[in-house]
Structure 1
Amino acid sequence: MAIYTITHSTRYTYETPVIESINEIRIFPYICKEQELLNQELNISFSPVLHTYFDYWKNKAATFSILPPHRELIVESHLTVRTTSPSLIQINFHSDFVQLADETQKNLLLTELSKIEKIKKQGLIKEIAENLLQESSSVADMVERCSSYIFRHFKYVQGITDIETTVDEILDHKGGVCQDFAHVMLQLLRTVHIPCRYVSGYICPNKSGMRGEGATHAWVEAYIPQFGWAGIDPTNNVWVTNYHVKLAIGRNFKDCSPVKGTFRGNCQQSLSVHVSIRYEDGKSFEQTNAVKRKDPYLVLEPVDNNPMGNQQQQQ
């Protein structure tokens, strides 16, 4: 059990004024038995009215609009949360794939989360997955082996991927960051019909030296019969315990993006994310990252009689 105070600030800046910014945020702690929200305060530019709801995946989300011209948008969350999981999780290593298939067939959600994404290098993923499966003695063992494979064969390198990098590109790079490792893990598990989901949140270990420490983080939850959803972090090759704070779940990153939206304007935008985590002993960790995009001018459908056009923003 641990208490963390987390500040998460997302800052968009625009070369020229933009208008009609419409945004969606998923920066609320996920409601589950593994964590408890103690306090949260949101500060957003222009103090817009928030319309909150729960999405398909039971993530708490909110939408807001900023209509006047502006050259900056800041979304800031101040969060205090208590994680309630033990430091060691007793995973069920006895459930086999026959039990998994039986439960999956009876549950539409599990069926949905076991379908693979269409990628060009599926043959390579299948070869890796089948080799790992031959050595596995249970569902949980296969999950653990997939995590270990990614940890050993993919380098943790910042800056070579972005939020739109595909699994095919990650396989070419043989490296990336937590989001990339999570997407490869999902593809491997779904190839052998293990239901799994993407998780966004924070990793908060104190002096542990884990990769991604003190920043926004991503990992995977796999479904294990007679146990349920078990979180595993391929970036650090560990089962998820009380060091991880969960924000959102979904099929992939697109379902869990902390901030995304559109605006009217024909200009380049830049995005930076600052995360500060303070521990119970008073020590803190801070990190600021400039988020890369392949195309900063991603234009959507043009707006009639509006020369500015529509563009998209996402973290």
Structure 2
Amino acid sequence: MEVYKLVYQIKTTYNAPVKKANFQLLVIPFSNAEQIVEDLEIECSIDQDAHISKNSFGFDLIHYYAKQSVSEFWFHLSAVVKKEKKNPFPISSLTSEQEFELLNSLDFKIDHHRFLLATDLTKMPVHSPISFPVYSSEKILLEYLLELNMFIFELLEYSPNSTDVNTAIEQVLYLKKGVCQDYAHLFISVCRQNKIPARYVSGYLDQGEGSIDTSQLHAWVEAFIPEAGWVGFDATNHLLADHHYIKIAHGCDFRDCSPIVGILETIGMQKSIHAVTITNQ
């Protein structure tokens, strides 16, 4: 069992006072049998109790409503997360032909339709300048996904500030640069083109004791493999998601997993600072 101490912080300052604001945060680690969350604490600059509800995918959303004028907004989350060590490489008894037949069956497509449809952020351009690996009945699905993971890792250069959360795949392919959400969107796009269900995952990544990731949260992909279920792939780091990956939520793309969304009544600019600290206990 791996035990992590997790701290997430955000601070936003505004050039002009915010008269009213609604804030929605999707940053609480998901809790299940494989990922146990304990000692969860949240604090906020808004002097009111947080309201927590479920989003459409079943993950915890924190809501704050500022009724009075504010010049800054800050939020702190801390938690202890326990994760079982596991082999990230799934085992399946199905042949490549059986896997391919199942993925192309009508019942399977209906059951997984939500993660088979392209979105604005996961839509491949009609005339892609890149020839991506193609899935076929001759390939074991895991082997294909590992090939795709390596292909995207080698294709793109990790480059902070080269893109933003709304950058389309067409622009990413033109630049051949991006950050974790771009790697994830591209992986999802190729999977869905090949009729493989894939979903965007947001979360925290333990990169070593006391590491700080000021680029916000991490993003990776879960693809569905028959018999094995949802398996995590991190093309940014050319890894499979194991016990070092702490999941917050999944969705069709980044917009379903945005860590903070705000509706503000104000004018002027704003500046936000995010920080993540993970310590392996």
TM-score, reference length from structure 2: 0.89
Distance in 1 separating the partners of 2:237 and 2:194: 22
Give the equivalent residue in structure 2 for 1:183: 185
Q: Which amino acid aligns with 2:192?
A: R
Asked if 1:123 corresponds to 2:127, the answer is yes
The answer (yes or no) to whether the contact 1:215–1:276 under 8 Å persists in 2 is no
Q: Which amino acid aligns with 1:193?
A: K
CA 1:38–1:180 in structure 2 vs 1: closer, same or farther (change >3 Å)?
A: same
Q: Which amino acid aligns with 1:132?
A: V
Distance in 2 separating the partners of 1:6 and 1:235: 22
What SS does the corresponding residue of 2:33 show, helix, strand or coil?
coil
Q: Which piece of structure 1 moves more, 110-119 or 178-187?
A: 110-119
- Matching residue within 96, 100, 103 for 1:97: 100
Q: CA RMSD in A?
A: 2.5
Give the equivalent residue in structure 2 for 1:7: 7
Q: Deviations 1:252-280 (Å, cap 9, x if unpaired)?
A: 11101111111100111111101111122
Q: Which amino acid aligns with 1:83?
A: K
Give the equivalent residue in structure 2 for 1:172: 174
Q: Deviations 1:68-117 (Å, cap 9, x if unpaired)?
A: 11110011111210111415433438452111223x63464511211123
The answer (yes or no) to whether the contact 1:150–1:234 under 8 Å persists in 2 is yes
Deviation at 1:34, TM superposition (A): 2.5
Aligned length: 275
Asked if 1:63 corresponds to 2:48, the answer is no
Q: Which piece of structure 1 moves more, 163-172 or 230-239?
A: 163-172
Q: Which amino acid aligns with 1:101?
A: N
Distance in 1 separating the partners of 2:229 and 2:149: 18
Distance in 2 separating the partners of 1:91 and 1:170: 33
Q: Deviations 1:44-86 (Å, cap 9, x if unpaired)?
A: 1123222212222111112120111111001111121011141
Q: Deviations 1:182-207 (Å, cap 9, x if unpaired)?
A: 01111110111111100000110327
Asked if 1:44 corresponds to 2:48, the answer is no
Q: Which has the higher contact order (CA 8 A, sep 6+)?
A: 2
Give the equivalent residue in structure 2 for 1:248: 249
Q: Deviations 1:199-246 (Å, cap 9, x if unpaired)?
A: 000110327x9xx79962000000111111111111111111101000
Q: Which amino acid aligns with 2:158?
A: Y
The answer (yes or no) to whether the contact 2:10–2:273 under 8 Å persists in 1 is yes
Q: Which amino acid aligns with 1:65?
A: Y
Distance in 2 separating the partners of 1:148 and 1:69: 49
TM-score, reference length from structure 1: 0.80
The answer (yes or no) to whether the contact 1:36–1:84 under 8 Å persists in 2 is no
Structure 1 stretches lacking a partner, 5+ long: 281-315
Distance in 1 separating the partners of 2:52 and 2:111: 24
Q: Deviations 1:131-190 (Å, cap 9, x if unpaired)?
A: 433696122222212111100111111121122222121111101111110011111101
What SS does the corresponding residue of 2:255 show, helix, strand or coil?
helix
Distance in 2 separating the partners of 1:266 and 1:215: 25
Question: Identity of counterpart residues, as a percentage?
Answer: 25
CA 1:67–1:143 in structure 2 vs 1: closer, same or farther (change >3 Å)?
A: same
